[in-house]
Structure 1
Amino acid sequence: MRFLFIIIICFVPFFVSAKEKVIFVTHPIPLMVESENKGVFIDLIHKFFEKTDVEVEIMLLPRNRAFDYFRNKKALILFPGVGPEPLGDTYLKTVNFYEKRDYLFYRKGDHYSSMQSLKGKIVGITNAYPYAQEILETKGVHFETAPSDEINFTKLGKKRIDAFLVEEFSGLSALKSSGAQGIVYDKEKPLSKLPVYMAVRDCEEGKKWYRFLNEKLKEMNKNAPLMDVVRAQFNP
């Protein structure tokens, strides 16, 4: 997937000592984090460090365990952070580099334009994923969790749930992987938007990498925003 990143990132003068190592921790997200070596966000990290002598280690764990790993100071950087995360008080947020836009996916022939239109219905969500609080507080809607986006799409295709709430592009990737048919969404009507960033431990070493990542992310946002790069894959 590295071909996605035809991104001109200007060189930012920054001192990085040889033989240094930085540990990231993340969790599986369709398209974005498919393995420790594959995914849109994974490629982004490697792109930033490709001209340094730094050893980059990316640990892939279930989402809650990834958060525990970061809180327990076993990793210096966690990504992606989405909206308000339960990471404690001692971390720094980089500039936002993506936006999590959640949409309702539903079976062709149905049409749900808002959470209010789903009162009395069952809406699938993915276990441990972050969602806008106002959505989760919608009265009259029953939320049912599943361990993955693919399972939620399978349930939707089999009419076990009425709709599935998921980020647009990771959702489209999971839909394809699930093999479910006859499922659509209204791309003009995102239900929520949450900022996506990297969380960096607030310590001397963390502040150094915080500055490094912020400069890289700002340059990327200026020259080739990640949302545009990902969108181009689905709308060539």
Structure 2
Amino acid sequence: MPLIAQLLTVLLFTCLSFTARGEKLRIVTEPWAPYVYEENGKSLGLDYETTAIVFKRLGIDVEWQFLPWKRCLSMLEQGQADGALDIFHSAERDATLLYPSEPLSQVEFVMFYANERPYPFRTLDDLKGLTIGTSPGYLYSKDFSESTLFTQEPAPTHEANFGKLVRGRIDLLITDRRVGQHLLDQLNIRDKITENPIIISQQSQFLAVRRNAGMDLLVQRFGAELKRFKREPAYAELSARYGAGPAPEARAASATATGGKTVEQQESGAQ
């Protein structure tokens, strides 16, 4: 059988396994507004809606589960999920996961502070003696995670982290810029909390799937269709709706507190 015919046969088998056989692609993700979240029983978000549109065009049915990030990673490792939405690429994951060539979105990690207790900084050294709110299941850059200059204090949710910041239980918190800005409005605390414009790091988010038969071709098709969709007016409208445009004030202060080293959303050693 010619090579192209073999590839088409594998691709057809993959599609059939999720359609004609009545199976669905099982995708897990953590609520991470405005990228992916649930509101009044409806799934929303820039990356969720983008992914749903791409899969619909590919004729693939998806079963979604919204769970804490550490649980998502555990399900991937145990084969209880086929893929994860809004996951960062890392060399350690290449042995078990496949990534499309096209990312879904770009994350910018920044710090937030309470207006009553501002802590301006330019480098991690400026954070000496402070307590920084973090998120469980997130492993930050080596410089950040191994620093003994400051204390890292995790909270069960992003909302809890902002609550601790308002009450003075932590000095700063680190999260994605758009996630933080979304929560300032959702929690009605925009008059109490401010974003520090220093971008700690930037990282691309992907849809990744487990390395199973035919998944490599599925990933290729997903990446190609995603790239095509992102060139359409519909994607521009979707991006604008979720505030995905660049923040000029943040980009103007492009110096990073970690000297260009990354802060990553990855599993902790306990996962």
Change (3 A) 1:134 1:228: farther
Instruction: Tell me how far 1:54 sits from its aligned partner.
Output: 2.8
Quick one: distance in 2 between partners of 1:193 and 1:226?
A: 23
Residue 191 (structure 1) aligned to one of 183, 197, 200 = 200
Quick one: distance in 2 between partners of 1:97 and 1:55?
A: 19
Change (3 A) 1:105 1:42: same
- Spell out the pairing of 1:142-153 with structure 2 (5 A cutoff): 142-153=151-162
Question: Which range moves more in the overlay, 113-122 or 14-23?
Answer: 14-23
Normalised to the residue count of structure 2, the TM-score between the two structures is 0.71
Question: Which range moves more in the overlay, 158-167 or 211-220?
Answer: 211-220
Instruction: Tell me how far 1:86 sits from its aligned partner.
Output: 6.2
Verify: 1:132 aligned to 2:132, yes or no: no
Quick one: distance in 2 between partners of 1:167 and 1:24?
A: 22
Q: How many residues align?
A: 221
Which runs of 5 or more residues in structure 2 are unaligned? Answer: 1-10, 248-271
> Counterpart in 2 of 1:71?
77
CA RMSD of aligned residues (A): 2.9
Identity of aligned residues (%): 21
Normalised to the residue count of structure 1, the TM-score between the two structures is 0.80
Which residue identity is paired with 1:186? N
> Counterpart in 2 of 1:231?
243
Question: Which range moves more in the overlay, 197-206 or 99-108?
Answer: 197-206
Quick one: distance in 1 between partners of 2:245 and 2:90?
A: 28
Secondary structure of 1:129's match? coil
Are the counterparts in 2 of residues 94 and 200 from structure 1 also a CA contact under 8 Å?
A: no
Change (3 A) 1:173 1:164: same
Are the counterparts in 2 of residues 97 and 226 from structure 1 also a CA contact under 8 Å?
A: no
Change (3 A) 1:234 1:108: farther
> Counterpart in 1 of 2:114?
107
Secondary structure of 1:164's match? strand
Are the counterparts in 2 of residues 124 and 161 from structure 1 also a CA contact under 8 Å?
A: yes
> Counterpart in 1 of 2:49?
43
Quick one: distance in 2 between partners of 1:168 and 1:37?
A: 21
The structure number with the bigger radius of gyration is: 2
Which runs of 5 or more residues in structure 1 are unaligned? Answer: 1-13
Verify: 1:120 aligned to 2:123, yes or no: no
Question: Which range moves more in the overlay, 136-145 or 104-113?
Answer: 104-113
Are the counterparts in 1 of residues 178 and 244 from structure 2 also a CA contact under 8 Å?
A: no
Quick one: distance in 2 between partners of 1:130 and 1:85?
A: 14
